[in-house]
Structure 1
Amino acid sequence: MRYDLDGEAPFKSFGTDAIHAGQEPEKWDSRSVVPLIGLSTTFKQESPGVLRHDKYEYSRGGNPTRECLEECVAKIENGKHALAYASGLAATMSMVEALLENGDHAVTGDDLYGGTNRYFNKVASKHGVEFTMVDVRNPDNVVAAIKPNTKMVWFELMSNPLLRIGDVKTIAEKVHAVNKDIVVCVDNTFLSSYNARPLDLGADVVMHSATKYMNGHSDVVMGLLAMKSDELKKKLMFAQFAIGAVPSAFDCYLVNRGLKTLHVRMQRHGENGLACAKFLESHDRVAGVSYPGLPSHPQHEVFKTIARSCSGMVVFYIKGGLQEAKTFLASLKVFTLAESLGGFESLAEHPAIMTHASVPEDQRKVLGISDTFIRLSVGLEDEADLLADLDQALKAALPTV
């Protein structure tokens, strides 16, 4: 990849930072090398209103295990601050609550995770916030949608589920040229901090559903926000405390542990994802493949300028119809039919029926989320077994072509 920032190599010491940032044994009286799980909900005060370390009072407002995680995330994002939430949607909600109010406007991508689409258009909009959804593949679409009351731009760097690319650098530059106070937030769930750093590209906030790659073990639901601005951190931290959508100390411990292997896992996810994408692209039972790491992807060249490499997310259209798609999914043996993504295990799902069923049918049709559209989250299994599984399932769905 050509990812380059002012001639400097990006992601310097990524693995070292992921393992050590925020993990100093001196944080704990025991000098524990592995951060402890601080289960206490409340903390003894030195005197009324005087807090030890000037920060621990009640665990909703601050927790030492959560602090370890947040410091680590801020470091690997090359940010200054990070905040953890009970889910990715809790992080999204907190952004809206902190930055938008009745009468405000936001521009969003039209190809978003179904839950984000549902929250923006069926929940937040009920409170007087207006959302305009545009195709962010053309940055000018974003600029054209900006109004005098626009306060936020929200899009996914690699979209869910179509794997379209939002050119963070160009979009951020154009938006801030119109109004420097508009907050540009980039959901980087599909690539993780290892593959792209939106803050380095001009974004104001980066969001992750840490449930996915950042944790990587399919056993935690969590959201993350990272930023460089002290003022944004102040607003977001107030909303975090006021709303209370914070994760448990145990979940923070698990995600913190997951980050220690993020760089190793993402390399393997990328290798397996590319292998599966190439295999599907050449298969006679596949009508089309989308994977930004392939030269055939229409935004491949743009992708190479904003990301280090691709992840394990692959989408494709199977030949035939809905029944062939269902038969394919039912025939898989290594891939598991399930929602979510980013874990060590390989998953497959049908977006139109599963993760994006809440997206209005007419919108799904425009986007191309059809009955033959299948999303894969390629895991860490042996490449040969993954390819063999895809091949046998495709042949079971379409015995003849």
Structure 2
Amino acid sequence: MLPKKRVFILIVIFLGLTSLTVMFANNPIYIVDPFFSLPLSVPEAPINKLLYMHYALSSHVIRTPVALDAKGRFYIVGRKNGKIRVIVLNPAGRIERIITPRLKDGRFLRLCFHISVSPSGECIWTIEDEVIPRVTVHGRNGRAKVSWLVNEHAINYYRIYAYAEDSAYIVQGDGGLFCLRFMIGQYKPQKFEMPISLFSIFFHNGKFWQIKDIDNLAQQFSKSGIKGQKLYSWVISWTPEEGARLVRRILVQSPTIKHIKWIDEQGNFYAYAYLPTYHPLSFLMEIDLIKRFLQAVGISDILRGRQVKSIQVFSSEGRLLDTIILPSIIRPKRGEELKYGQLIKADEKGIYLEVEKVNEPREYRIVRIVKKRRWQVWWDALRSWFNPAQIEGKER
């Protein structure tokens, strides 16, 4: 028989290991849930060209224009045979229909870097990039209802937001920041000067949002207590009807929070960040002899860290909640070269992100980044190993 003392030690060790295992199994992690994938290199693909664009007013790069409606549909813009096509996905990520938008004269759109959709999905707003940009409202089948010509500006300084069934805002930011309000049935849009910064605006729940430094607000708002609070910024909103409003003061833990890419229903902010990674052998660069040798043979850069694209999630008070390192979550398969695009949306089901496979065979994807506990990931893997057909059927 084992001595009581040894039995006690073994029990303590067992309980400790069990507790660590339970803690590790309950630790939440991010994984990728494939949502939509579209081959671009096959002849039967509905689109074979994406419309890459840098949106200057919101400080981000898209792989191609994407819009949402209030019912959870996705509208993906692409091009084939010189015509613009819009792929409509249902909320489950399956193709519902494909639209080929036309103008009033029956001509097909040739270029379209901006799209927005009314809440019901019945009106699709586009901006065609021709000599003079043209705003057009299309029905759900793509046929044009009405169109307007707008002032010529650099196309990447436009943004369009359909906020009602018959109305949309168009923001122009080349040479000043202005908001044009278009309404079906009105000949000319109303023009408003926007009292917010030129870059990094976000549209959410019918309002424009921005996070501004205290110093930038001191002259705009006569509110006591604004000056002298360098660690804080203010969330402001603006509409033509309400004007600019101070929403809340937040503690800025990272400068990336000022470039809002999404606001979820809980009021959390999502932003991009480029964060440094470190090579596990980078400490060797601290040794002078090794450092000089690597520099002499021209391979010193292999031990240096690199900047990787990440998503940071902040609470409505500005507290950093999560950092998602994209290359560690969305890992390319052998031979793949991936480019990350815009954050399309974030909801209770996950974070939806554009990913393009840029080498042949090319492919456009929307992935959903979800947060699960490790034991759930293990359980899903075990179920798929024993019964892959059942899991595949559920995903479809």
Determine if the TM-score, normalized by the shorter chain, exceeds 0.5. Answer: no
User: Which has the higher Rg, Structure 1 or Structure 2?
Assistant: 2
Relative to the length of structure 2, the TM-score reads 0.26
Relative to the length of structure 1, the TM-score reads 0.26
